[in-house]
Structure 1
Amino acid sequence: MMSTDASPVLSVRDLTVTYRTDSGPVTAVERLSFDVAPGETLGIVGESGSGKSAATMAIMGLLPRNATARGSVLFGGRELLDLSDRELRAVRGNRIAVVFQDALAALNPMMTIGAQVAEAVSVHDASQGRRALRERTVDLLDLVGIASPRDRVDQYPHELSGGMRQRVMIAMGIANDPALLIADEPTTALDVTVQAQVLDVIERVQDRTDTAVLLITHDLGVVAGIADRVMVMYCGRKLEESPVDALFHHPAHPYTTGLLGALPRIDRRAARLVQIPGQPPLPTERPTGCPFQPRCTHAVPAVCGEVDPAPLAVDTTHTTACVRFHEIESVTR
């Protein structure tokens, strides 16, 4: 549950990520701003190439050498973009942790899971002895719902199911009680039952530790089940941000409406799913004005193709980057 603490754990302002390529500079994230409060889960949704992972890598200080980040990323009042590599290493895995989507690739096949979880603890706290580390590891595996944790600590990744490996990744992520947990597509390639179990683990851990969670996903169903707020990204831009219920019941951007129309619903009957026309533009061929306007059925080229959309307040907790929002709303209601 989200804390009543007014100070955000993470405050991102005007984050812009640019890659140097043979074809010239390519902007992957453009003027992105958002906050995450203690105990809150913010879901970031968008198609592949929308800038979700690039923003995450910028926050973690893990961008490749051909990329630069500008703007501000305040974590606990500290500017992460100004930290040295050494200072960032002290933050990563300690105060900020990340859970990636491919647990089998992320885990070392030559080490037991107990050794890997223990390493996540000891790299930031070398004072604990071997016995204390083992007990801490058993406690962490128990916390994330792994049965018989004392037996599992001596097993290798290939001996565990996909869902159990993902739980191990979560255990490693929360090993040092981080203030922020970034979950990058944590349920991809898992069946729906295991997905629900993994999300339940994240929620239980969050309830116990008051950790803020940044959930990166393309699956609106995952967002509906766990997020407090949702931010919709497209072409590196934030198009909409709102509480999760408002987004599903009263979307304020045509792109969000299109995503929801393509989502199967069990609470209503529909003749067919809605398809968003066209394809996202290449990073080197982004349109002027609203990035979604070439695919938008409500677009007026003279307006949407010329005006750079700034966030428009739908209400005190809901924003949209659609300059024609009020006109579209009056027609669609």
Structure 2
Amino acid sequence: MTTAATNNSGGPAASAIPTGGAGPADTPLLAVRDLTVRYRSEAGPVTAVTGLSFDVAAGETLGIVGESGSGKSAASMAIMGLLPAGTEVTGSIRLRGEELLTLSDTQMRDVRGRRIAIVFQDALSALNPMMTVGAQLAEAVAVHHRDRGRVELHERAAELLDLVGIPDPRARLDQYPHEYSGGMRQRALIAMSIANDPEILIADEPTTALDVTVQAQVLEVIERVQDRTDTAVVLITHDLGVVAGLADRVLVLYSGTKLEDGPVDDLFHAPAHPYTEGLLAALPRVDRKTARLVPIPGQPPSPRDRPVGCPFGPRCVHVLPGVCDVPDLPMTRVSPGHDSACARVLELMGAAR
């Protein structure tokens, strides 16, 4: 992975918050600035994330929402330092003020799992089928605590399974992943991620392929873990319903670009971007007067052929030539802590009133 802690103009990475400002006392736990991720391909570079900036405060839950291919997972892999060799990453990722993009692989291994951890979406693939769940939990702890003995590691593994709500945790330690149900595997993966009490937990589509009841249980586990450990959570999902009851703030990604960012209540009750409005219109709701959902027309643009200006422009009913196709559209503050990348947002919100 090729990294550079620079902004898009090639100068030193910015450390100031783009909107609102912040003093030393307001320094966020995680500060991402102008993050751009480019993959190599036979057809040339493919930009997965463009100029992404956001903050995560201690104990906060940030929901990152977007369709498949919007750049959600690419951004999380960049934070974890897990992108494939040859990937170009520019911008800045700071954890308590420490720049992560300039750390060596050895230094990142000390950060990964201990200070920032991730829960992958496919628990069956993420867990080793040849090792018992207890052995994998013990290994996750031992990597960062080599002074702990076998008995202590075994006790810590049982404690972790109990924390995520797996019944009879001591007996379950000696079982293999295939002996767990899908929901239990996901809980075990969460237990492994929090084994070293990380400051930030990234949950990448943690409810994928689980039924509705098990989804609710997994989200409850994440919420319970956060309450007990004060861990900040970055919840990555394509489902707005998942973040509705869990997130404090929501960031909406589309085609690798941030289109909206704001408190969860503001975003659901007063969306400030047509794309967010479209996502909400396509979300099943019991209070909707009509049972018919409204799909968003068209398809997301190809990463190799993004439109100039707003990437949602070709699918937007409010697009205005000469206004929405201007390069580098700025984020507009529509209310405290609520920003939108729509060039017509103030006009459209005024008309809605």
TM over 0.5: yes
SS at match of 1:214: strand
Percent of pairs with identical residues: 69
Task: Provide the C-alpha distance between the structure 2 equivalents of 1:271 and 1:206, rounded to a whole number of angstroms.
Answer: 36
Which residue of the other structure, out of 279, 291, 301, is the alignment partner of 1:259? 279
Task: Provide the C-alpha distance between the structure 2 equivalents of 1:275 and 1:202, rounded to a whole number of angstroms.
Answer: 30
Task: Provide the C-alpha distance between the structure 2 equivalents of 1:121 and 1:57, rounded to a whole number of angstroms.
Answer: 21
Correspondences of 1:9-20 after superposition (within 5 Å): 9-20=29-40
Which residue of the other structure, out of 219, 227, 236, is the alignment partner of 1:216? 236
Task: Provide the C-alpha distance between the structure 1 equivalents of 2:203 and 2:326, rounded to a whole number of angstroms.
Answer: 36
Task: Provide the C-alpha distance between the structure 1 equivalents of 2:144 and 2:73, rounded to a whole number of angstroms.
Answer: 25
Give a deviation string over 1:292-317, Cα, whole Å, max 9, x none.
Answer: 10000000022112343111001121
Residue 230 of structure 1 contacts residue 247 of structure 1 at CA under 8 Å; is this kept in 2? yes
SS at match of 1:310: coil
Displacement, 1:6? 3.5
Q: Aligned AA for 1:248?
A: F
Task: Provide the C-alpha distance between the structure 2 equivalents of 1:44 and 1:175, rounded to a whole number of angstroms.
Answer: 24
Residue 161 of structure 2 contacts residue 191 of structure 2 at CA under 8 Å; is this kept in 1? yes
SS at match of 1:322: coil
Displacement, 1:271? 4.5
Q: Aligned AA for 1:82?
A: T
SS at match of 2:51: strand
Q: Aligned AA for 2:317?
A: T
Q: Does 1:46 align with 2:71?
A: no
Give a deviation string over 1:160-189, Cα, whole Å, max 9, x none.
Answer: 100000000000000000000000000000
Give a deviation string over 1:204-240, Cα, whole Å, max 9, x none.
Answer: 1101111000011001010102101000000111000
SS at match of 2:189: helix
Task: Provide the C-alpha distance between the structure 1 equivalents of 2:227 and 2:291, rounded to a whole number of angstroms.
Answer: 40
The match for 1:193 is 213
Q: Does 1:332 align with 2:352?
A: yes
Q: Does 1:167 align with 2:183?
A: no
Residue 27 of structure 2 contacts residue 97 of structure 2 at CA under 8 Å; is this kept in 1? no
Q: Does 1:28 align with 2:48?
A: yes
The match for 1:104 is 124
Which residue of the other structure, out of 240, 243, 250, is the alignment partner of 2:260? 240
Which residue of the other structure, out of 74, 78, 90, is the alignment partner of 1:58? 78
SS at match of 1:251: coil
Residue 6 of structure 1 contacts residue 37 of structure 1 at CA under 8 Å; is this kept in 2? no
Larger helix share, 1 or 2: 1
Correspondences of 1:268-283 after superposition (within 5 Å): 268-283=288-303
TM-score normalised over the length of structure 1: 0.97
Q: Aligned AA for 1:291?
A: P
Q: Does 1:155 align with 2:175?
A: yes
Displacement, 1:274? 1.0
The 10-residue stretch of structure 1 (301-310 or 56-65) with the greater mean CA deviation from structure 2 = 301-310
Task: Provide the C-alpha distance between the structure 1 equivalents of 2:317 and 2:45, rounded to a whole number of angstroms.
Answer: 30
Task: Provide the C-alpha distance between the structure 2 equivalents of 1:24 and 1:111, rounded to a whole number of angstroms.
Answer: 40
Residue 240 of structure 1 contacts residue 252 of structure 1 at CA under 8 Å; is this kept in 2? yes
SS at match of 1:301: coil
The match for 2:222 is 202
Residue 293 of structure 1 contacts residue 301 of structure 1 at CA under 8 Å; is this kept in 2? no
Which residue of the other structure, out of 307, 312, 316, is the alignment partner of 1:287? 307
Task: Provide the C-alpha distance between the structure 2 equivalents of 1:179 and 1:110, rounded to a whole number of angstroms.
Answer: 30
Which residue of the other structure, out of 105, 115, 133, is the alignment partner of 1:95? 115
State the aligned residue count: 329
TM-score normalised over the length of structure 2: 0.92
Which residue of the other structure, out of 183, 192, 202, is the alignment partner of 2:203? 183
Give a deviation string over 1:248-304, Cα, whole Å, max 9, x none.
Answer: 100000000000000000123224211111000111110001111000000002211
Alpha carbon RMSD of aligned pairs, Å? 1.0
Task: Provide the C-alpha distance between the structure 1 equivalents of 2:111 and 2:328, rounded to a whole number of angstroms.
Answer: 36
Give a deviation string over 1:38-88, Cα, whole Å, max 9, x none.
Answer: 110000000011110111111111111131110100012110000000000
- Structure 1: tracts of 5 or more residues without a match: none
SS at match of 2:101: helix
Check 1:153–1:308 CA distance in 2 against 1; reply closer, same or farther (3 A cut). same
Correspondences of 1:219-230 after superposition (within 5 Å): 219-230=239-250
- Structure 2: tracts of 5 or more residues without a match: 1-24
The match for 1:85 is 105
Q: Aligned AA for 2:151?
A: R
Give a deviation string over 1:11-59, Cα, whole Å, max 9, x none.
Answer: 0001111112222222111110000011100000000111101111111
SS at match of 1:29: strand
Task: Provide the C-alpha distance between the structure 1 equivalents of 2:172 and 2:289, rounded to a whole number of angstroms.
Answer: 45
